[in-house]
Amino acid sequence: MEIWTSGVASPRASARTARALEEAGWDGFMVVDSQNLSGDPYVALAMAATATTRIGLGTGVTNTVTRHASVTACSIASVDRVSNGRAVLGIGRGDSALAHLGRAPARLGPFARYLGQLQTYLRGEAVPFEAIDIPTDVAPPMSELELADAPPSSRIAWIAQGLEGGRKVPVEVAASGPRVIAAAALHADRVMFALGADEERIAWGIETARKARRDAGLDPDAVAFGAYINCGCHPDVERARGLVKGGLTTFARFSVMHGKASGPVSDSDRAVLHDLRNSYDMKAHTQADSRQAGVLTPAFIDRFAIAGSPDHCIDRLRRLARLGLDKVSLSGGMRGASAEDAAVSMQLLARDVLPGVRA
């Protein structure tokens, strides 16, 4: 199982961060795409690529609204070229990036169509002009120019040329609800669950994805599975819980964003999820000292996140790997958490947990 971690898209710091992660033994580094809160992810990833040779690089995650599919494909393919084939595109329906534009996450229909077009571009194939959703009151049809000749469809030629003997950039879709999981299963190279670290919930997500593929007449084993996991490693379990609270509010909220808790959940956890949704303050997004973080109970944190000693973290991660996950992206120590505890966690993860999971 590959073990990645995530961070902000800092154009200045990303190279230094990625180099340190590579030296510490991590498999990959993902950066967020939230234009009002962080720098440009593709600039950050390109800078990270120039400072590293092995570590994987990806968005964690971009969305289907703020960039056209052709632009997203071009950007991540450019990172892939710079990094000599180490790029991965993580994408979802959007959260903070859209909230700071006054919008909710993308609707499912347009989301699925975007994924289809994105994969088409990344394969070097053509998207019909009529399938491109640009309002005519924003940009009229090209036919109004009365050109002597013009492209018959939308295709990124340089990507197509580079695929000869090369590889397509993998697409990973972040998913938590059953309909998004199903769409991801049909369009992604890997479904990245945002369901927490609870084994029953992850197993439910995997079966939901496989059923969607079976129902569509596709091989249920021809898609990979991974997960975003909030993880704090510290000998003091209370400090470990403090490291994951901020990020956990964000990921747990995805499972109840529209009012109904998705996936297997106990009555007590359902109550926490609804309290989380009702108290969520986007101005304190990911913050460990936020109002929404205050509703998380120790029992909820222990099920939905991984918080504890190195041995505890190793055991939980190994159990997730046995379910069929071949990748996890760990995050912890976000704003409002103790910087000292976050440093201890990163040291223990690199020194003990990474080699322990791989042993």
pLDDT (0 to 100) of residue 167: 87
pTM: 0.96
SS3 7: strand
How is residue 10 annotated by DSSP?
-
pLDDT (0 to 100) of residue 220: 98
Please check the confidence at residue 355 and state whether its pLDDT lies above 80: yes
- Cα–Cα distance measured from residue 254 to residue 188, given in angstroms and rounded to the nearest whole number: 19
Mean of pLDDT values over 34-50: 97
Token pair, residue 71, equals 């632009």
Mean of pLDDT values over 172-177: 98
333 pLDDT band, cuts 50/70/90, is confident
> pLDDT per residue over 5-29, tens digit each?
999 999 999 999 999 999 999 999 9
Residue 316 in any domain: the answer is yes
pLDDT (0 to 100) of residue 334: 81
Residue 247 in any domain: the answer is no
pLDDT (0 to 100) of residue 336: 86
SS3 127: strand
- Cα–Cα distance measured from residue 64 to residue 110, given in angstroms and rounded to the nearest whole number: 8
pLDDT (0 to 100) of residue 269: 96
16 Cβ contact list (under 8 Å, min separation 6): 51
Query: Quick one: 184 exposed, middle or buried, by C-beta within 10 A (0-12, 13-18, 19+)?
Result: buried
- Work out the angle at residue 39's Cα, subtended by the Cα atoms of residues 34 and 42, and round it to the nearest 5 degrees: 90
> pLDDT per residue over 216-257, tens digit each?
999 999 999 999 999 999 999 999 999 999 999 999 999 999
Rounded CA Rg of the chain: 20
Residue 270 in any domain: the answer is no
Mean of pLDDT values over 327-352: 95
The mean of the pLDDT values for the chain is: 96
184 pLDDT band, cuts 50/70/90, is very high
Q: What is the CATH number of the domain that holds 91?
A: 3.20.20.30
Please check the confidence at residue 165 and state whether its pLDDT lies above 70: no
Residue 7 in any domain: the answer is yes
pLDDT (0 to 100) of residue 15: 97
> pLDDT per residue over 88-134, tens digit each?
999 999 999 999 999 999 999 999 999 999 999 999 999 999 999 99
Q: What are phi and psi of 73, to 5 degrees?
A: -60, -45
Residue 340 in any domain: the answer is yes
Residue 245 in any domain: the answer is no
* 111-116 contacts at long range (C-beta below 8 A, 24 or more positions apart): 111/64, 111/180, 111/183, 112/183, 112/186, 112/187, 114/64, 114/69, 115/64, 115/91, 115/171, 115/173, 115/183, 115/184, 115/187, 115/188, 116/187
> pLDDT per residue over 273-318, tens digit each?
999 999 999 999 999 999 999 999 999 999 999 999 999 999 999 9
Residue 276 in any domain: the answer is no
Mean of pLDDT values over 28-54: 97
Token pair, residue 357, equals 């999971």
Mean of pLDDT values over 62-79: 98
- Cα–Cα distance measured from residue 170 to residue 258, given in angstroms and rounded to the nearest whole number: 29
Tokens 């249920």 belong to: 220
Q: Which domain holds residue 109?
A: 2-134+153-231+310-358
In the chain, the number of structural domains is 1
Residue 104 in any domain: the answer is yes
Please check the confidence at residue 166 and state whether its pLDDT lies above 80: no
